[in-house]
Amino acid sequence: MNNRLVKDTLADKIFLKFNFVFLLLALLIVLYPLVYIVSASISDPSLVNSGEMWLLPKGITWEGYTTILNNDSIWRGYANTIYYTVLGTSINLLVTLPCAYALSRKDLYGRSAFMSFLLVTMFIGGGLIPSYLLIKNLGMLNTVWALVIPGAVSVYNLIVTRTFFETTIPREMEEAAIIDGCSDFKMFTSIILPLSMPIIAVMALFYGVGHWNSYFSALIYLSDKAKYPLQMVLREILVLQDMSSNSINGNMSSDMAAMMYSKQQLVQVIKYGIMIVSTLPVIVVYPFLQKYFVKGMMIGSVKG
Amino acid sequence: MSETWKKIKKNRQLYLFILPAFLVILIFSYIPMYGIIIAFKDYVPALGIWGSPWVGFKHFQRFFDSYYFWDLLKNTLGISIYSLIVGFPLPIILALALNELKDGKFKKITQTVTYAPNFISVVVMVGMIVAFLNPSTGLINHVLDFLGFERMDFMSDPKWFKTVYVLSGVWQSTGWSSVIYLAALSGVDPELHEAAVVDGASRLRRIWHINLPTIRPTMVILLIMSVGSIMSLGHEKILLMQNPLNLESSNVISTFVYQQGLLDAQYSYATAVGLFNSVINAILLISVNKVADKLNETSLF
């Protein structure tokens, strides 16, 4: 970027060539597995399993996807995940945005005390068991609430949002509104929020992807298979299948087992297809929202 | 006093804004901290946390005396230090390299692609690892076979566990971690580069003497944070990658806590083990922070 200002010498030109080769290599290392998965998911299983398919799809077949889309567990997992993601993200935003705004106001009495109250939790925690016992004692086991309430606010995201409000909303505007007799509530809903669409988008995405991809809280808090999110269904198919010797986890539902065993030779291809199907929503939105993601990450790095 | 009261009254709606977040943090972060005391008790659900009998350091003693203690510690530290050594410098190198490119198509594609794996879930990631490393159908083994090496069963060989864990982590997160460094690099003053060129400095020298020092505070902060989380190793991924055959090298403290606490319901014991983990973590965080503060005058707190 800043290097365009100056002319390159021969040594610099050689360096730039090396640099290019290095980045090209990095690009290919990341890209290749991704392309392979896509190709493998629509190729003839025997060609994939034998290694003949190595880049572009060979012997194209949609059988893997047909099997996946005919599986009830996948659909149920998908529906549950969409529900948890929408509900969870809404709660996250309702809790995070107002709080971050209040904390961005320098005239708030007790602001730094509350910040310390938050920051402590970034370094000290009760750990797995006390948290589990709390959820259990609150009667939240095996309910949606165990997945969406305990993580309703992430301190990191809260600080990022606060920094956004502090740096992009002009103080004078708030002061003018206060002088005009505007209440804090009205100011937040009709002045601040409309000006803050970029950070709302970033937060919705950070939280949303988090909910979409999470499996651990479902693993520890949910016992009812009908409530499993997609990631838990995937865990049964992608991970536990290959580790069938793992007796602790031998809890695959019969529905799933039937699907896997009836199509032995398809198994590998189904796995590749499932990786695509489950990541699809994120892949589809990602290119459009990449710049927001990056912006959010960068605001976070400015910290304060 | 009335002055304070006036200020509080003026902000009363703002306190309502804070209330939900305050309650969530109080209940789900602070109450579990109080729950830690069951590490010093024999927790009986019917008696509750406070009513259960005190037992002092019994659970800690049992953990330190157990035959798996050293294995757990060795695995936890081993995997963390391995991933720190491999995973920490790479995002910096990637960011420095990307920073040398003009803003063009190639730069954009490289960034978009290298960030992408960050959005793949742990479950899918482990699914990929398992599929690619499958001894008879996996991609990696086809390549080994093609190059004339023997096929290997990586997932059931304890020797390979750490490497598979660390390298897959590098693949997934290097691009995304470089974003912060790129942000820091965009703050480099162009005049420094111009002046250096006048003095005849090559690109490499300018990277070394201008770009690197500029991002040093960011590096130190991130290093402190990663050292501080050395013991709280990603149990989510390890738990998925674990199987009875690789347990010898894949059993770490956090997965042990899960296994003892949630699968075997030994609540007090597992809490004690978890607390031991956090204490070591806090000691590491504080000491690295001190050292960084002395050497660099950059610190987290």
Confidence of residue A263 (pLDDT cuts 50, 70, 90): low
Contact B199, B191 (CB under 8 A): no
Q: In this predicted structure, what is the pLDDT of residue A97? A: 97
Smallest CA-to-CA distance from B91 within B268, B190, B279, B223 is with B223
Q: Is residue A23 part of a domain?
A: no
Q: Is residue A262 part of a domain?
A: yes
Q: In this predicted structure, what is the pLDDT of residue A126? A: 87
- Scan for tokens 């030779």, then name that residue: A265
pLDDT in tens, B274-292: 999 989 888 888 888 888 8
Average pLDDT in the B97-111 region? Answer: 92
Q: In this predicted structure, what is the pLDDT of residue A249? A: 40
Contact A96, A158 (CB under 8 A): yes
- SS percent in chain B: helix, strand, coil, step 5: 75, 0, 20
Q: Is residue A133 part of a domain?
A: yes
Contacts of A301 in chain B (CB under 8 A): 180, 183-184, 218
Q: Is residue A79 part of a domain?
A: yes
Phi, psi dihedrals of residue B41, rounded to the nearest 5°: -130, 170
Verify whether the Cβ–Cβ distance A290 to B7 is below 8 Å.
no
Tell which B residues from 242 to 301 touch A, by Cβ distance under 8 Å: 242-245, 254, 257-258, 261-263, 267, 270-271, 274-275, 277-278, 282, 285
Q: Is residue A282 part of a domain?
A: yes
- Scan for tokens 């798996």, then name that residue: B68
C-alpha triplet A193, A194, A195: angle, nearest 5°: 90
Q: How far apart are CA A210 and CA A148, in angstroms?
A: 11
pLDDT at A302 over 80: no
H/E element, B264 = none
pLDDT in tens, B146-170: 999 999 999 989 999 999 999 999 9
Verify whether the Cβ–Cβ distance A238 to B123 is below 8 Å.
yes
- Give me the amino acid identity at A192: I
pLDDT at A246 over 50: no
Q: In this predicted structure, what is the pLDDT of residue A234? A: 92
Q: Is residue A187 part of a domain?
A: yes
Minimal CA separation from A50 to chain B, in Å: 6
**CATH number where A92 lies:** 1.10.3720.10
Of A49, A101, A301, the CB nearest to B180: A301
Q: Is residue A211 part of a domain?
A: yes
Higher pLDDT, A224 or B235: A224
Average pLDDT in the A15-32 region? Answer: 95
Average pLDDT in the B141-145 region? Answer: 91
Q: Got the DSSP string for B180-208?
A: HHHHHHTTS-HHHHHHHHHTT--HHHHII
Verify whether the Cβ–Cβ distance B30 to A185 is below 8 Å.
no
Confidence of residue A242 (pLDDT cuts 50, 70, 90): low
Which of A129, A163, A212, A249 to mutate to probe the B interface, most B CBs <10 Å?
Answer: A129
Of A26, A108, A286, the CB nearest to B119: A286
Q: In this predicted structure, what is the pLDDT of residue A4? A: 52
Q: Is residue A8 part of a domain?
A: no
Contacts of A114 in chain B (CB under 8 A): 18, 22
Q: In this predicted structure, what is the pLDDT of residue A5? A: 52
Contact A151, A85 (CB under 8 A): no
Q: What percentage of chain B has pLDDT greater than the value 70?
A: 100
Verify whether the Cβ–Cβ distance B109 to A27 is below 8 Å.
yes
Contacts of A26 in chain B (CB under 8 A): 94, 97, 110, 114, 174
Q: Which domain holds residue A132?
A: 45-246+254-298
pLDDT in tens, A80-137: 999 999 999 999 999 999 999 999 998 888 899 999 999 999 888 888 999 999 999 9
Verify whether the Cβ–Cβ distance B17 to A33 is below 8 Å.
no
Verify whether the Cβ–Cβ distance B100 to A130 is below 8 Å.
no
pLDDT at A303 over 50: no
Average pLDDT in the B30-41 region? Answer: 95
Q: How far apart are CA A277 and CA A41, in angstroms?
A: 10
Q: In this predicted structure, what is the pLDDT of residue A221? A: 96
Number of domains in chain A: 1
Q: In this predicted structure, what is the pLDDT of residue A175? A: 85
Of A2, A129, A214, the CB nearest to B271: A129
Tell which B residues from 145 to 164 touch A, by Cβ distance under 8 Å: 145-146, 155
DSSP state at residue B55: -
